[in-house]
Every structure is written in structure tokens, then in C-alpha cells.
Amino acid sequence: MATKDTHSGIDGRRFWSTVMRSGDIGPGKAGGLCRLALTDADKEMRDLFITWCTEVGCTVQVDRVGNIFARRPGAEDHLPPVLMGSHLDTQFAGGKYDGIVGVLAGLEVLRTLDDRRLRTKRPLELVCWTNEEGARFTPPMVASGAFAGVFPVDWVLALRDDDGKVFGSELERIGYNGKTAVGGRGIDAYFELHIEQGPILDKEAVPVGIVVGGYATRGMHVDILGETAHAGPTPMNRRRNALVGAAMLAVAVNDIGWKYHATEGKATVARLVAWPNKAGILSEYAQLTCDVRHAEKPVAEQMLAEVKAAIPDCARRANVEMRMASEWQFGNETFDPGCVRLIREAAQRLGVPHRDILSQAGHDAYYVSRIAPTAMIFTPCRDGISHNEAEHAEEDYTVPGVNVLLEAVLARANR
């Protein structure tokens, strides 16, 4: 394990106490966080984040989908900025580290430069992306996606959560409906530090993972259309229960995951909603949210094809209609070799043990990589547990990655 490198690098204590301070905002029920996008807790965290950024001399802009950009001017300030960042929102049962350490690592980089009164050649920007998790508004990573031109801004603003609340209205409610245009400007590079959310670094006691690619992920909402009827007299052969159709498809998707388990494929049934979904009545509507993931893109495509083949089969068996409501994909992206090399060189220079790694989760970096040279640094989390309030990371395991981020960003911004 690398030792702390506080004299030449960042202030590890300051960094970690900032992470702990964030961990007080939006407590979950079991020691973690429940800080959903565009809630009061999200607003409180955003406000504090902006205070911290302005304390180190940054100017702050918020774009129309609520992404926050804290800018530190460069010596040649007309040049496109080098971005760092991640997200501050969490899952319903989330940890204190997922996304958060990435944003606050970027803040610690800015604080360190401020301490040293160092001016980089290119400007730096620290970004907090809105609603990365997709926990409240699905799909995930909509705001970095909008920044990269993947999703139309108006479409993002019109998204609804499961209580019917609208993204744009909630953004306005918490005062983060910014005026800045979404994307459409030159970005020199983007660096994102994130906990691994897998067990490899923790098991191998390696503090830095250099992300060289991602699992190809294919996600979708499937709408299921049936008919309400009385749960008592309606004969089985006249039933069109959307909930049964959704359950059949859920089982089929899970089976596809197991079929590819030997090669580390995954298929996830994440969300099932139905209406009326009450005792005594059959449901006329259901929606299933699921995804498939595999390290090899052609295999992920095959898994997706198998899900699509299961849809008409389940529809027939449940006597309902099914149709694809929306689809998304991420994880095909390969990161920029130049940015990846800067991370590797920084780790080598600092003597930080490191290894190449694939990401199995989605990250804002995927979408940003479509419009700018991008790379990611992973840091360990205990047993790979994430999206669970038991998520845990250690200061000593995390600080080396932040120092690598500092070095890589400096090298890129000053080149």
C-alpha cells in the first residue's frame, strides 16, 4: 500500500474531512446517504460545494440542466479548459463516496493549487454533473449526456420521477435552473476520479486503477399494456394482467444474466412499476427497467438481442402488449490514450501501485469522452460494495489517487 504523500501533494486530512462533511448531508437510514438529485439535500450539498469553490477563487456557472462548473482561470485563459469532476447525488440507499470523492478530489486539487499560488497555463474547471445516478430521473447520466449532445436539453428537462415530478420544475425549485447553455464549447480534457464499485483494487490492495475501458451496457424501459379487471371472476384465459407480463419478462432478463455469468456478463431487473397495482384488480400498465452488461461489446449486443426476443414471447404468454419505451447505451467508449498515459506516468512518478482496470458501472466520463479526451482513475472501496449504505472507502486508500489526479491534471493543463 502506498504511504500518504502529504508534503509534496494534496492535504489528505483536509480532503477527507471534506468528504466526511458531505457525508452529513442527506443521511440514509443505515449510515449511508439518500441524497437524490434535485431534492432539498442535493440543494444543501450544492450550496456548500459552491461556497467551497468560491473560497478558492473560482467563478461558478450553472447550465440549463443544473451542471455546476467552478472555473479557475489559466495563464492563457482563452484556451479550452481542463475539466475534473463527478457527481454529488446518490442512490436511495447510497454511500458517502460514490461520485462524491471524485468531485471533492477535484476540489482538493484546486485548494492545493491555491495554497501553492500556482497558475496553470490552461484554465481548470471542476464540474458537478446533475442526476448521475438515474435513481430519481431515469436514465442515468442524463446531464453529462446532454452536455455531450447525447440527450436533447428539453427532453431532459421534461423527465418525470416516479411521483410525477418534473426534472425542470424540481431544478427550478432548488434554484439550479442555470442560464448557461449546455455544452457546445471546447474542452481540452476531462479527468474523473471515482471509487471502483467492484472488488478488484480492494482485494489486491492496489490504490489506483487506470480505467482503460468499460463494460458495454444496454439499458431499456419496456412498457407493458394490459387491461384492468376484477381479480375474482375473470377467468385466467381472459386476463390481460400487465403485472404478470412484467414479472415474466423480469425472470427472462435475469435468466439471460445467468446464461452469461461464466464470462462475467450481468443482466439486471432494476425497476418494475404497475398501475393500479392494488389488491383486487388486474393492472392495465406496467413498466420494466432493465439492462445487460458485458466486457465484450458483441456479447452485450447478443444479450440485448435475447432480451428483445423474450419480449414477444412474454407478451404472448401473458396476453398483453409490450413495446420498447426507450433505450440507452454506454460503456463502449475507450478513453483517450494521451490522458490515460498521463495518469499512468503520474502514478509511476509518485510510486503509487496501480493497475489497468475495466469499469462495469456507468460514469459521466463515458458521455464526456464522446466530445473530449477523457480518462478515469479508480480508487478502492471495501469488498466492492456500492449502491448500499455499507459502502466504505479509506482515506489512506483514496489519497494516492487524488495525488495522481493532481499530477495528471497539472501535466495536461501546463503542456
Find the binding residues for its own copies in span 260-279 (CB under 8 A): 261, 264, 266-279
Q: How far apart are CA 253 and CA 278, in angstroms?
A: 25
371-390 footprint of its own copies as x/- string (CB under 8 A): -------------xxxxxx-
Amino acid letter, 84:
M
Q: Least distance in Å: CB of 293 to its own copies?
A: 6
Is 215 a binding residue for its own copies by CB under 8 A? The answer is: yes
Q: Least distance in Å: CB of 366 to its own copies?
A: 12
Give the list of residues 6+ apart from residue 262 with CB closer than 8 angstroms, or none: none
Nearer to its own copies, 88 or 250 (CB): 250
**272-275 contacts at long range (C-beta below 8 A, 24 or more positions apart):** 272/246, 272/247, 273/162, 274/242, 274/243, 274/246, 275/242
Binds its own copies (CB under 8 A): choice among 12, 134, 213, 380:
134
Give the list of residues 6+ apart from residue 293 with CB closer than 8 angstroms, or none: 215, 216, 217, 218, 265, 266, 267, 268, 300, 331, 360
Is 156 a binding residue for its own copies by CB under 8 A? The answer is: no
Tally helices (H) and strands (E) across the chain: 12, 12
Q: Are 143 and 88 contacting, i.e. CB atoms less than 8 angstroms apart?
A: no
Listed ranges 44-52, 62-70, 89-97, 113-121: which one lies at the site for its own copies (CB under 8 A): 89-97
Is 79 a binding residue for its own copies by CB under 8 A? The answer is: no
Report the site for its own copies in 223-262 (rule: CB under 8 A). Answer: 227-237, 241, 243-244, 246-248, 250-251, 254, 257-258, 261
Assigned C-alpha cell, 235: 377467468
276-315 footprint of its own copies as x/- string (CB under 8 A): xxxxxxxxx----x-x-x----------------------
Q: Are 211 and 354 contacting, i.e. CB atoms less than 8 angstroms apart?
A: no
Binds its own copies (CB under 8 A): choice among 139, 145, 183, 207:
139
Q: Are 107 and 400 contacting, i.e. CB atoms less than 8 angstroms apart?
A: no
Residue count at the site for its own copies (CB under 8 A)? 75
Amino acid letter, 64:
R
Listed ranges 51-59, 134-142, 205-213, 305-313: which one lies at the site for its own copies (CB under 8 A): 134-142
Cβ-based burial of 351 (10 A; exposed 0-12, middle 13-18, buried ≥19): exposed
Binds its own copies (CB under 8 A): choice among 48, 50, 56, 93:
93
Q: Which residues pair with 354 in a beta bridge?
A: 208
Nearer to its own copies, 74 or 145 (CB): 145
Nearer to its own copies, 37 or 83 (CB): 37
Binds its own copies (CB under 8 A): choice among 92, 301, 382, 395:
92
Report the site for its own copies in 4-23 (rule: CB under 8 A). Answer: none
